[in-house]
Amino acid sequence: MNAQGNSTLVNVDGVEKVFHRGSEDIHVLADLHLQASVGEFLALMGPSGSGKTTLLNLIGGLDRPTKGAVTVAGERLDQLSDRRLAAWRARHVGFVFQLYNLMPVLTAERNVELPLLLTHLSKADRQKHVETALAVVGLSHRAKHYPRTLSGGEQQRVGIARGIVTDPTLLLCDEPTGDLDRKAGNEILDLLQALNREHGKTIIMVTHDPHASARASRTVYQDKGQLSNEPVK
């Protein structure tokens, strides 16, 4: 499946993923092909268990395919050593999770700083990056607050700030509005659209919500390890 545009950022070519549970082989992805362009906002939809998160993890270098090639930003992820893959991931990918995954003992700004601890930036430079990321998501005034004092929408904004603080090539969002009410979810979708349109971020978002996928520039549908341009029947 080809994305619109000439500059391909993500190329998933003939990927299969098999998990082993005892003597049983569980085939999650089967000969899957996907391309995403630089600057695209792509939504992945499909029923639970269709392999959406598995595909997202392969694109983000959190897992490896059983077969096939995953190329992102010109790098064959399936051919990298664990050490090189970790370094590549820290440089190129920001993650946003459904349940925020914030550290409760850290303030918002210290949660946002976490990915920068893997870099060689000085403390002062890390703080500048944190302040910029929190400003982008509209939470500069909540920098010193702990997660327990933030609303769900604010916690997700902190999660997005953490995802963009390294200025990643690719932002991967796994059900980013799945734990929010409609109002807070709409605010998060507004923010993701702004990151895409105003800041040029390439975003791939897994969602089960048609309301969320409507914000993307393109939607593909996943079912039984395969992708389609048409909704799953």
Residues 90 and 94: their CA atoms lie apart, in Å, by 8
What are the tens digits of pLDDT across the range 94-149? 999 988 899 999 999 999 999 999 888 999 999 999 999 999 999 999 999 999 99
Quick one: what percent of the chain has pLDDT higher than 70?
Answer: 97
HSE (CB half, 13 Å, CA atoms) of 74? 2
Residues 20 and 180: their CA atoms lie apart, in Å, by 33
What are the tens digits of pLDDT across the range 5-59? 459 999 999 999 999 888 888 889 999 999 999 999 999 998 888 889 999 999 9
What are the tens digits of pLDDT across the range 201-226? 999 999 989 999 999 999 999 987 78
Q: Is the dihedral of CA 62, 158, 143, 131 positive or negative?
A: positive
pLDDT of residue 125: 97
Contact 138, 218 (CB under 8 A): no
Residue 81, number of CB atoms within 10 A of its CB: 8
pTM of the complete model beyond 0.85: yes
Token couple for 225: 């390890």
Eight-class DSSP state of 145: -
H or E element, residue 219: strand 218-223
CATH node for 39-62+90-228: 3.40.50.300
